[in-house]
């Protein structure tokens, strides 16, 4: 059996893909797995380093930029419209490239985990009559999924089916696939992660992650409150995963803001491929509301402060965060609230650090939103949907 797995754009799309790939190999070692990603992806090295795929290819892909604002403002946005036109050409080129690859491979099926690279591959696969399964991570389907989803044999979803408008008979709630490295934290595992990261000299630790590409507004809010927080907690360690593009600027900001003694309490990373260690070492995690990261933290039963991004297409993080807040599964602060008074973030961090009971309650409630074997469930779905030689 040959299965093509497609995803890209961010590590939030790639890490679930890897989790599913490992489960496919675990269930059927003979399956031939092919990865198709986007040319120029910042996260191709994550796939190559993992080594689970038998083959990999890259195709051109384009992104439709749909920033918030009035229709007139968007129509007058010449740079954005020019980039959209350029990416339309890339999309057409990518469809031709994907068709050539798929005709050569003759796969039994295509699994799409998100990102605009799915549009050229899905379009080419449909024209070649190759079965397609999509997966939505977030509470609101992404545009790429909505474009190619009309051709899907099955829509697998990360949230309950009522969040989506797909055909009921073809929609299956499987959860968000994550790697087996994410498991419920214990005092022993938290201590182990701290030792592995050489952090055992800290009494408490907080971890901040804005997703694989970082979050400048979240970084700035943390930057505002950390000096006072560190002064009040001299044995507090801060692990800040700032995003590769933001690492240098963030490090330099703390070099200026903090004394050498306090600067030693802040560890800045651009991107880490062992995030479970960084989140597992912490008492509290501050994060965006991306579905992959939230699922990973739910598996760890971690106490979280969630700050959803309000600037993404379809506002999917706000919808994710609203669902989490309704379940009492995290403290949710909006960007507007932080802009109005960053001290709300400092107060929330301090309260959680001093209240182990609240941390435990949030962790338990977040864990209830997680589907523990989503990757395995999805792997079985793919094996049952893609019948070898059945086309």
Are residues 166 and 230 located together in one domain of the fold? no
20-24, 56-60, 61-65: range with lowest mean pLDDT: 61-65
Residues written for the chain:
391
Torsion, CA 191, CA 193, CA 197, CA 200, rounded to 10: -10
Kindly indicate the confidence band of residue 116, based on its pLDDT and cuts at 50, 70 and 90: confident
Are residues 197 and 242 located together in one domain of the fold? yes
Report which of 321, 300, 298 is spatially closest to residue 310, judged by C-alpha positions: 321
Are residues 140 and 278 located together in one domain of the fold? no
CATH number at residue 309: 3.40.50.2000
Q: Are 113 and 5 in contact (CB under 8 A)?
A: yes
Mean pLDDT, to the nearest integer, of 282-310? 93
* pLDDT for 304: 97
Q: Is 147 part of any domain?
A: yes
Residues 6+ apart with CB under 8 A from 297: 279, 285, 287, 304, 366
* pLDDT for 65: 52
Are residues 220 and 273 located together in one domain of the fold? yes
Instruction: Summarize pLDDT for 229-288 with one digit per residue, the tens.
Output: 999 999 999 999 998 888 999 999 999 999 999 999 999 999 898 999 999 999 999 999
Kindly indicate the confidence band of residue 48, based on its pLDDT and cuts at 50, 70 and 90: confident
Most confident range, picked from 37-46, 99-108, 157-166, 330-339: 99-108
Are residues 200 and 162 located together in one domain of the fold? no
Q: Is pLDDT at 77 greater than 70 in this prediction? A: no
The CA distance from 251 to 263, in Å, is 9
Report which of 274, 193, 283 is spatially closest to residue 238, judged by C-alpha positions: 283
* pLDDT for 162: 83
> Sign of dihedral through CA atoms 163, 148, 52, 275?
negative
Are residues 299 and 247 located together in one domain of the fold? yes
Mean pLDDT, to the nearest integer, of 1-30? 90
User: In whole numbers, what is the pLDDT of the chain averaged over residues?
Assistant: 88
Q: Is pLDDT at 145 greater than 90 in this prediction? A: no
Paired residues of 3 in beta bridges: 33, 109
Kindly indicate the confidence band of residue 95, based on its pLDDT and cuts at 50, 70 and 90: very high
Kindly indicate the confidence band of residue 45, based on its pLDDT and cuts at 50, 70 and 90: confident
Are residues 221 and 94 located together in one domain of the fold? no
Are residues 144 and 210 located together in one domain of the fold? no
Mean pLDDT, to the nearest integer, of 44-63? 87
The CA distance from 340 to 5, in Å, is 43
Mean pLDDT, to the nearest integer, of 291-318? 87
DSSP SS3 for 111: strand
Q: Is pLDDT at 172 greater than 90 in this prediction? A: yes
Q: Is pLDDT at 11 greater than 60 in this prediction? A: yes
Strand residues in 137-263 grouped as ranges (E): 154-157, 171-173, 204-209, 236-241
Compute the C-alpha angle 344/218/271, nearest 5°.
Answer: 140
Instruction: Summarize pLDDT for 311-365 with one digit per residue, the tens.
Output: 655 677 888 899 999 999 999 999 888 888 778 999 999 999 999 999 999 999 9
Q: Is 71 part of any domain?
A: yes
The CA distance from 176 to 294, in Å, is 9
Are residues 47 and 148 located together in one domain of the fold? yes
Are residues 191 and 280 located together in one domain of the fold? yes
Report which of 265, 278, 276, 281 is spatially closest to residue 187, judged by C-alpha positions: 281
* pLDDT for 273: 86
Q: Is 343 part of any domain?
A: yes
Identify the residue with better confidence: 130 or 159.
Answer: 130
Compute the C-alpha angle 155/161/162, nearest 5°.
Answer: 140
Number of compact structural domains in the chain: 2
Are residues 303 and 170 located together in one domain of the fold? no
Domain that residue 126 falls in: 2-176+373-385
Are residues 152 and 225 located together in one domain of the fold? no
Question: What is the DSSP code string of 181-197?
Answer: T-----HHHHHHHHHHT
The CA distance from 303 to 386, in Å, is 39
* pLDDT for 70: 47
* pLDDT for 90: 82
For residues 381-390, b (16+ Cβ closer than 10 Å) or e, as one string? bbbebbeeee
Task: Tell me how crowded residue 186 is: count the other CB atoms within 10 A of its CB.
Answer: 11
The CA distance from 277 to 314, in Å, is 31
Q: Is 101 part of any domain?
A: yes
């Amino acid at each position: 059996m040959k299965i093509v797995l497609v995803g890209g754009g961010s590590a939030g799309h790639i890490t679930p893909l890897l989790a599913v790939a490992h489960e496919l190999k675990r269930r059927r070692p003979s399956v031939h797995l092919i990865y198709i990603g986007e040319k120029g992806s910042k996260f191709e090295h994550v796939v190559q380093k993992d080594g689970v795929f038998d083959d990999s290819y890259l195709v051109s892909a384009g992104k439709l930029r749909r920033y918030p604002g009035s229709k007139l403002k968007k129509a007058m946005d010449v740079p954005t419209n020019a980039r959209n036109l350029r990416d339309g050409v890339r999309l057409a080129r990518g469809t031709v490239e994907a068709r050539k690859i798929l005709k050569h491979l003759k796969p039994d099926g295509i699994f799409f985990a998100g990102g605009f690279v799915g549009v050229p591959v899905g379009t080419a696969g449909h024209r070649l009559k190759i079965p397609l399964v999509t997966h939505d991570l977030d509470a609101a389907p992404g545009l790429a999924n909505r474009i190619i989803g009309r051709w899907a044999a099955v829509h697998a979803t990360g949230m309950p089916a009522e969040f989506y408008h797909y055909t009921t008979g073809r929609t299956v709630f499987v959860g968000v696939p994550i790697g087996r490295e994410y498991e419920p934290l214990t005092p022993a595992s938290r201590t182990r992660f701290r030792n592995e990261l050489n952090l055992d000299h800290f009494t408490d630790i907080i971890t901040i992650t804005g997703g694989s590409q970082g979050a400048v507004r979240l970084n700035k809010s943390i930057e505002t409150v950390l000096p006072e927080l560190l002064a009040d907690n001299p044995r507090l360690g801060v692990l800040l995963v700032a995003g590769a593009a933001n690492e240098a600027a963030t490090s330099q900001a703390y070099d200026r803001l903090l004394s050498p003694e306090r600067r030693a309490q802040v560890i800045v990373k651009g991107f880490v491929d062992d995030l479970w260690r960084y989140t597992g070492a912490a008492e509290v995690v501050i994060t965006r509301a991306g579905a992959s990261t939230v699922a990973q933290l739910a598996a760890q039963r971690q106490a979280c402060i969630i700050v959803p991004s309000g600037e993404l297409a379809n506002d999917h993080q706000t919808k994710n965060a609203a669902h989490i807040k309704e379940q009492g599964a995290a403290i949710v602060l909006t960007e507007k609230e932080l802009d109005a008074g960053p001290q709300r973030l400092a107060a929330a961090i301090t309260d959680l650090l001093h209240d182990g009971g609240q941390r435990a309650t949030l962790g338990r409630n977040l864990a209830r939103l997680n589907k523990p074997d989503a990757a395995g469930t999805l792997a079985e779905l793919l094996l049952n949907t893609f019948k070898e030689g059945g086309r």
